[in-house]
Amino acid sequence: MKVKQIKLMQGNEACVEGALAAGMKFFGGYPITPSTEISEISALKLPRVGGKFIQMEDEIAGIAATIGASLTGLKSMTATSGPGFSLKQENIGYAMLAEIPCVIVDVQRGGPSTGMPTAPSQSDIMQAKWGTHGDHPVIALSPNSVSETFHLTIRAFNLAEKYRTPVFLMLDEVVAHMREKIEIPVASELEIFDRVRPEENDTKYMAYKVPANHLVPPMASFGDGFDFHVTGLMHDEFGFPSNDTDNAEKLMNRIMNKVNDNINDIVDYEESFIKDATTIVLAYGITARSAINAVKTARERGHKVGLFRPTTIWPSPEKQIKKLLKNVKKIIVAELNLGQYVLEIERIVAGQAEVFFLGKANGEIITPTEILTKIEEVI
Amino acid sequence: MPSQLVRDNLRTNKLPHIWCAGCSNGIAMRAISQAIENLGFDKKKVCIVSGIGCSSRTSGYMNYNTLHTTHGRAIAFATGVKLANPNLKVMVVTGDGDCSAIGGNHLIHAARRNIDITTIVFNNNIYGMTGGQFSPTTPMENYGTTAPYGNMEKPFDICNLAAAAGATYVARGTTYHVNPLVKLLEKAMIKKGFALVDVMSTCPTYYGRKNKKGTPAKMLKYFKDNTIDTKRVEKLSKEQLENKIIIGEFKNTDELEFTDKYLELIKGWEG
Amino acid sequence: MSAGKKLLITEDWCKGCGICVEFCPTNVLEIKNGIVTVVDIDKCIKCGLCELRCPDYAIYLEEIENES
């Protein structure tokens, strides 16, 4: 956009707007509620900016085409919901090991199985972390508003390009479908990161070697003139399959550590009323909207309660939560599932504070009243 | 030092390949190289995409842009590559299990879409990499490690499948009839649209041993003695065609291709 | 003409499958100690059938450079 625009739109639409602002030029997907508007709007808008949209024959093909397109140099995205996210998991692992940047949007709905397709949930949080087999680096973001969906979609692309890895954008059905005011900034005000490519005349290009002062190996595109091989097998620095145990260890450490060593860059969060809080509510996505309302009411009633809202779900904001434990003695984790992210918080807290859980998996959101009741119950 | 053809098209530092002694996948890979050489393609624009299985190791050996993907998904990855960059000459090398079992859905939909991808199936009637289980192209009554009493399932004819689904060029060759195979591959590669060549390959280690097919050379000679060209099929009776492998061209038509159509759409929005 | 070609073997790549021996029309080749061996080069008619069907690219004909 050349001028700032104020619009009314839903989260799924803001996601596509963010993706286009980030430079998305390819979308490969398969229809699934409640993510379909992302496909529909991509189909409408991509050809107008020289981009490509394709509706594939299934969820697996959707992510496969997205990865293939990324390998030709295009910023690529796919979108799905729980059942489709499950189907995509094998190829997500492929993209993690082969280090192919792409964005995967999961508009979470009630599960397991077909579950409640039109109802919100936050029950894919652990699927995002552990869905694909093998050890793997995970970056997952979760917005709580239409406006934040726009910005976190851009951030998802930036992180994917910077760290050469798939990045998950974890929406929920409410954020995806609610309509809110959104201010779309001028394009020049947005920070956009493009993948590092090899020098054109690099005759010694090694597709999986990290040069000095680089985070990840520069990524060539098919057709650029670099002959290189990409595989989901353990591979050497040239990209060719290798069963060498030392090589496998080195590669695994490298793909894990590119995320683990840069947590400060990747992790983002929001704190409200934290300063003197002895009790905090930890919530993300739509649940954080109810939580802030509950926290404000609790404050009015004189309780020293704050809200911690991670926008980066994985890697978790471990350092920040540990820092809070100086004052915070009680943490209420509220989420739309029967106990997922709370396990991570319990791990981080490790007995240094009491952890309480407020969850729900019946297709309704957690209300401010329910959170307030929980606050007053534990205080 | 290997032959000029091998030097110019294969990654010689990755050879010898992992395929068993007498496996004819190597013959098929050479035939692909020969076809690319004959057509004079810009090798920097050739992209070989493969799935999982013996056949799919091909991508690691061919000295072009190469992508070794997940089981059954090569055509889906290739679809992304081709639509994203239509200037690439995209080819899929796959196996009978990879493309007609786990990847069957992608095969029929790429054919329906008529996207410009040349799919080359190394069809050896068995899952070789996993040790000899029957595949969707294992003939009935034949043995596999998971068909210890003989295969009870009717096999797929991959050519008829692809043709029915909408592929615009479909052919079958064998690793015995190498020169005709090269010609079929060339025609598939220059077809603007979804093209498929079913290459009858041999697996002496598993399929051959389980079914007492004899030496690698004998397995190739079986193709010599038991194939009938599509041009002759109409003249023969049902009995004469029994247990015969039909080779040659199954389909050769021209239809509007998917990426061309998409580029037209984009062009309409330029301004 | 065919006289300008030479039969070459890359022993390291030969897996001894015997396909070339079987398809050689003039019995030039044999498998010895698991590897293809030329037993009578004089009989070779440079037809190239061995190269065409060698799955391991271990045997092939190469043009000889004209010394003049």
pLDDT at C2: 45
Question: Residues of B numbered 3-22 whose beta carbons fall under 8 angstroms of chain C's beta carbons: which are they?
Answer: 3-4, 6, 10, 15-17, 19-22
Question: Residues of B numbered 35-94 whose beta carbons fall under 8 angstroms of chain C's beta carbons: which are they?
Answer: none
Going by pLDDT thresholds of 50, 70 and 90, the confidence category of residue C35 is very high
Identify whether A200 is part of a domain.
no
| Cβ–Cβ under 8 Å, residues B81 and A222 | yes
Task: Count the domains in chain B.
Answer: 1
Q: Are strands B169-174 and B245-252 parallel, antiparallel or unpaired?
A: antiparallel
Angstrom distance (rounded) from CA A15 to CA A23: 12
- Mark yes or no for CB contact B15/C22 under 8 Å: no
- Mark yes or no for CB contact B15/C21 under 8 Å: no
State both tokens at B48.
Answer: 């070989």
- CA distance to A18, B8, B141, B200, B207, per residue, from C16 (Å): 60, 25, 31, 22, 19
Three-state SS for chain B is CCCHHHHHHECHHHCCCCCCCCCCHHHHHHHHHHHHHHHCCCHHHEEEEECCCCHHHHHHHECCEEEECCCCCHHHHHHHHHHHCCCCEEEEEEEHHHHHHHCHHHHHHHHHHCCCCEEEEEECCEECCCCCEECCCCCCCCCECCECCCCCCCCCCHHHHHHHHCCCEEEEEECCCHHHHHHHHHHHHHCCCCEEEEEECCCHHHHHHHCCCCCHHHHHHHHHHCEEEHHHHCCCCHHHHCCCEEEEEEEECCCCCHHHHHHHHHHHHCC
> Does C contact A via 3+ CB–CB distances below 8 Å?
no
Angstrom distance (rounded) from CA B25 to CA B200: 9
pLDDT at C1: 44
Of B16, B25, B220, Cβ closest to residue C19: B220
Q: Does A157 touch chain B (CB under 8 A)?
A: no
Angstrom distance (rounded) from CA A238 to CA A231: 11
Angstrom distance (rounded) from CA A300 to CA A61: 52
- Mark yes or no for CB contact C52/B178 under 8 Å: yes
DSSP designation for C65: P
pLDDT at B38: 98
Domain boundary among A151, A167, A189: A189
- Mark yes or no for CB contact B85/A25 under 8 Å: no
Q: Which burial class, exposed, middle or buried, applies to B57 when counting CB atoms under 10 A from its CB (0-12, 13-18, 19+)?
A: buried
Nearest to A98 by CA among A250, A230, A251, A243: A230
Angstrom distance (rounded) from CA A72 to CA B81: 6
| Cβ–Cβ under 8 Å, residues A353 and A301 | no
State both tokens at C1.
Answer: 């003409």
CA angle C9, C12, C15 (to 5 degrees): 90
Give the domain CATH number at C13: 3.30.70.20
Per-residue pLDDT averaged across B49-55, rounded?
98
| Cβ–Cβ under 8 Å, residues A155 and A14 | no
In chain B, what residues touch A28 (CB-CB under 8 Å)? 79-80
Rounded to the nearest integer, the mean pLDDT of chain B is 97
Of A223, A240, A241, Cβ closest to residue B87: A223
- Mark yes or no for CB contact C18/B10 under 8 Å: no
- Mark yes or no for CB contact A222/B47 under 8 Å: yes
> Does B contact A via 3+ CB–CB distances below 8 Å?
yes
Range of the domain at B176: 4-269
In chain B, what residues touch A94 (CB-CB under 8 Å)? 69-70
Q: Are A178 and A69 in the same domain? A: yes
Task: Quick: pLDDT tens for B89-124.
Answer: 999 999 999 999 999 999 999 999 999 999 999 999
Q: Are A170 and A275 in the same domain? A: no
Percentage above 70 pLDDT, chain B? 100
- Mark yes or no for CB contact B22/C19 under 8 Å: yes
- Mark yes or no for CB contact B76/A230 under 8 Å: no
Give the domain CATH number at A139: 3.40.50.970
Range of the domain at A26: 5-189
Identify whether C68 is part of a domain.
no
- Mark yes or no for CB contact B4/C62 under 8 Å: yes
Q: Is B245 helix (H, G, I), strand (E, B) or coil?
A: strand
Q: Which residue of C has its CA nearest to B7?
A: C57
In chain B, what residues touch A64 (CB-CB under 8 Å)? 69-70, 73, 76-77, 79-80, 106
**pLDDT of A2 higher than 90:** no
| Cβ–Cβ under 8 Å, residues A214 and A196 | yes
Separation in Å, CA of C24 to nearest CA in chain B? 11
Task: Quick: pLDDT tens for B215-250.
Answer: 999 999 999 999 999 999 999 999 999 999 999 999
Q: Does B269 touch chain A (CB under 8 A)?
A: yes
Angstrom distance (rounded) from CA A184 to CA A158: 17
Q: Which residue of A has its CA nearest to B269?
A: A48
Query: Residue A306: in which H helix or E strand, if any?
Result: strand A305-310
Going by pLDDT thresholds of 50, 70 and 90, the confidence category of residue C64 is confident
Task: Quick: pLDDT tens for A167-199.
Answer: 999 999 999 999 999 999 999 999 999 999 999
Angstrom distance (rounded) from CA A332 to CA A282: 6
Question: Residues of B numbered 193-252 whose beta carbons fall under 8 angstroms of chain C's beta carbons: which are they?
Answer: 204, 215-218, 220-221
Identify whether C13 is part of a domain.
yes
pLDDT at B219: 98
Q: Does A221 touch chain B (CB under 8 A)?
A: yes
State both tokens at B177.
Answer: 């009839």
Of A91, A94, A240, Cβ closest to residue B14: A240
pLDDT at B271: 72
pLDDT at A266: 98
Q: Are strands B46-50 and B65-68 parallel, antiparallel or unpaired?
A: parallel
Angstrom distance (rounded) from CA A27 to CA A62: 8
Question: Residues of B numbered 53-82 whose beta carbons fall under 8 angstroms of chain A's beta carbons: which are they?
Answer: 59-60, 63-70, 73, 76-82
Per-residue pLDDT averaged across B59-70, rounded?
98
- Mark yes or no for CB contact C57/B2 under 8 Å: yes
Count of residues in chain B: 271
Q: Which residue of B has its CA nearest to A65?
A: B80
> Does C contact B via 3+ CB–CB distances below 8 Å?
yes
Q: Which burial class, exposed, middle or buried, applies to A211 when counting CB atoms under 10 A from its CB (0-12, 13-18, 19+)?
A: middle
Task: Count the domains in chain C.
Answer: 1
**pLDDT of C68 higher than 80:** no
Identify whether C26 is part of a domain.
yes
- Mark yes or no for CB contact B27/C52 under 8 Å: yes
Q: Are A282 and A176 in the same domain? A: no
Separation in Å, CA of B80 to nearest CA in chain A? 4
Angstrom distance (rounded) from CA C60 to CA C46: 9
| Cβ–Cβ under 8 Å, residues B97 and B128 | no
- CA distance to A271, A274, A279, A297, B80, per residue, from A301 (Å): 20, 16, 14, 6, 56
Task: Count the domains in chain A.
Answer: 2
Task: Quick: pLDDT tens for A124-175.
Answer: 999 999 999 999 999 999 999 999 999 999 999 999 999 999 999 999 999 9
Identify whether A198 is part of a domain.
no
pLDDT at C56: 98
- Mark yes or no for CB contact A94/B69 under 8 Å: yes
Pick among B13, B15, B182 to test the C interface (most C CBs inside 10 A): B15
Q: Which burial class, exposed, middle or buried, applies to B240 when counting CB atoms under 10 A from its CB (0-12, 13-18, 19+)?
A: exposed
A to B CB pairs, distance under 8 Å: 134
**Residue A24: what are its φ and ψ, rounded to 5°?**
-55, 130
pLDDT at A1: 66
Separation in Å, CA of B263 to nearest CA in chain C? 40
**pLDDT of B251 higher than 50:** yes
Domain boundary among A189, A215, A234: A189
Task: Quick: pLDDT tens for B121-151.
Answer: 999 999 999 999 999 999 999 999 999 999 9
pTM above 0.90, yes or no: yes
Q: Does B270 touch chain A (CB under 8 A)?
A: yes
State both tokens at B151.
Answer: 């295969």
- Mark yes or no for CB contact B215/C18 under 8 Å: yes
Q: How far apart are the first and last CA of chain A?
A: 48
- Mark yes or no for CB contact B80/A28 under 8 Å: yes
Domain boundary among A189, A214, A243: A189
Q: Which residues contact A288 (CB under 8 A, 6 or more apart)?
A: A144, A307, A309
- Mark yes or no for CB contact B76/A68 under 8 Å: yes
Separation in Å, CA of B173 to nearest CA in chain A? 28
10 Å Cβ neighbour count for A189? 8
Q: Are A161 and A62 in the same domain? A: yes
- Mark yes or no for CB contact C13/B16 under 8 Å: yes
Q: Are A179 and A301 in the same domain? A: no
Q: Which residue of A has its CA nearest to B50?
A: A231
Q: Is the peptide bond before A117 cis (omega within 30 degrees of 0)?
A: no
Question: Which chains does chain A touch, 3 or more C-beta pairs < 8 A?
Answer: B
